[in-house]
Amino acid sequence: MPKPPRILIIATSAATMDGGSTGLWLEELTTPYYAFRDAGADVTLASIAGGAIPIDPRSVKPVGENDASVERYLADEAFTQTVAATPCFETLGTGDFDALFLPGGHGTMFDYPTSEALARLVAAMSEAGKVVAAVCHGPAGLVAARKADGTPFVAGRKVAGFSDSEERAVGLEHAVPFLLETRLRELGAAYVSGPDFAPFAVRDGNLVTGQNPASAERTAGLVMEALRDAEQAA
C-alpha cells in the first residue's frame, strides 16, 4: 500500500491592505484542502508568520450562501481551529512533503513576495521533483523564487494567476503593490488565462497554477494528477 502523498499548504499572514481588511480568500484554501483530504492525502496547514490565518471578510457570506467547501469549513470545528492556530512554515521540516500549495487572497501580494524562505522553498521543492502549486494571487509566492542558475523560477513556464483585467474589475489595481499578471510576464513566464472569473488552471510539469477563486477545484485536481504521475515515475 503506497504512502499517502504529503501536501504542505502555506497561507498568507497579511491582514490589511490599503487601510482595509484582507487576507486569505477562504474558498482557495477550503476547496483544495478538502479535495486533497478526500483523495487520501496527508495535509499540513501553515502560514507565513504563524498564528491565526487572516480571512478576507469578503470571502465569507452568511451560512447557507457560500461555496460548498466554505460551508463545510464553517461546520468543521477541527479545521477552523487549525486555521486559528497555524505554525510558521519555517519551523517545519519540509523535506518530507510531496507538494506545496499556495492559496490566494490579496494578503499574499504583500507577504509571499517578500519571504526569502518561501522563495527558497519553492525552488528547492521544484528542483527535488516535488509539485509546486498556487491559485489566484497565490502565484505571488513564485515571483521571488530563482532557479539554481539565478534565473526567475517562472521564466519559460506556463503560469496562470489573477489577471490584470480581473484586478481592475474588482477595483483593487491600485491597492496591490504590483499587478500579478504583469509581474509574471516581466519575469519571463508564459502567462496563460481563460475568461475573467471563469475556472482555468494549467499544469506545466510539476508546476500547477490556477487563475482565480473559481479555479481552486480544477487546480487541486491537477495537483493530484501530478502527484500520481510522480508516484508512477518513481
| Catalytic positions, written as ranges | 136-137, 167
3-state secondary structure of 116: helix
* Grid coordinates of 233: 515515475
- Between CA 100 and CA 226 the distance in angstroms is 12
Q: Sheet harboring 201-204: ordered strands across?
A: 42-47, 6-11, 99-102, 131-135, 207-210, 201-204
88 beta partners: 47
Residue 116 Cα distances to 70, 75, 119, angstroms: 31, 35, 5
* Grid coordinates of 164: 490584470
* b/e burial code for range 14-31 (CB count within 10 A of at least 16 → b): bbebeeeebbbbbbbbbb
Cβ–Cβ under 8 Å, residues 108 and 141 = yes
9 beta partners: 45, 101
Start-end of H helices in 90-191: 108-111, 116-127, 164-169, 180-186
* Grid coordinates of 173: 489595481
